[in-house]
Amino acid sequence: MDTLFYWIDHLGVAVFAISGTLLAFRKNMDGFGVIVLASVTAIGGGTVRDLILDLPVFWAHDPSYLYSILVAAFATIIWLRFREYIHQRLLQSADALGVAFFTLMGANKAMEAGFSPIICVVMGTITACFGGMLRDVLARDIPMVLKSELYATTCIIGASIFVILQPYAPVVAVLAGGFSTLLLRFGAIRWQWSLTVFQPHGDQHR
């Protein structure tokens, strides 16, 4: 299962690198801006997770993640020079896949290191959400995760399902956690679910 997880991890890294490259494109950044945004989105969440859990930062000892980022960013740049457009729906699907992968990977890594269940859920969420948050802060957007439909709530629910089932049936836990994250995310995008806790009060810009 470790090999499977390794490839899922690389796939997640590539998907998020594409998302960072697209934001750099929208903001008219140069080549290095692309690499920074792609890298921060792809490995920022996992880096924060590893630092907090005091584990070796995953990409510092396995540079292959950096190659995945470069390939994904380069392919996206080539695509954009010919098409200047990526279908929004396609991107959201890729992003939802990345979120599902990273939530599982993050929660799993914390479980293997023996942390308590709530910390594992938090780490799944951090792995999936912090990269995008750093990307948005660097590009001076309001972090999507703080505003948009159920982005992180999705991760919390998916990671919780995985963490609860994992001790009993690891494979079921992966499938149940992954698919619930995916379905919730697609549902949230499709029907614009949101978790409103405050009535709109009209002084957003105060």
**Which positions from 91 through 130 interact with a copy of itself, judged by CB under 8 A?**
115-116, 118-119, 122
Binding a copy of itself (rule: CB under 8 A), the pick from 11, 66, 175, 183 is 66
Residue 69 binds a copy of itself, judged by CB under 8 A: no
Nearer CB in complex with a copy of itself: 53/183: 53
Does residue 184 belong to the site contacting a copy of itself (CB under 8 A)?
no
Q: Shortest Cβ distance from residue 134 to a copy of itself (Å)? A: 10
> Using the rule CB under 8 A, which residue among 81, 83, 87, 89 binds a copy of itself?
81
Report the site for a copy of itself in 5-44 (rule: CB under 8 A).
24-37
What's the rounded Cα separation, in Å, for the pair 96 and 104?
Answer: 13
Q: Under a CB-based contact definition with an 8 Å cutoff, are residues 106 and 155 in contact? A: no
Residues forming the site for a copy of itself (CB under 8 A)? 24-37, 47, 51-54, 56-57, 60-61, 63, 66, 77, 80-81, 84, 115-116, 118-119, 122, 133, 137-140, 142-143, 145-147, 150-153, 156, 194-201, 203-204, 206
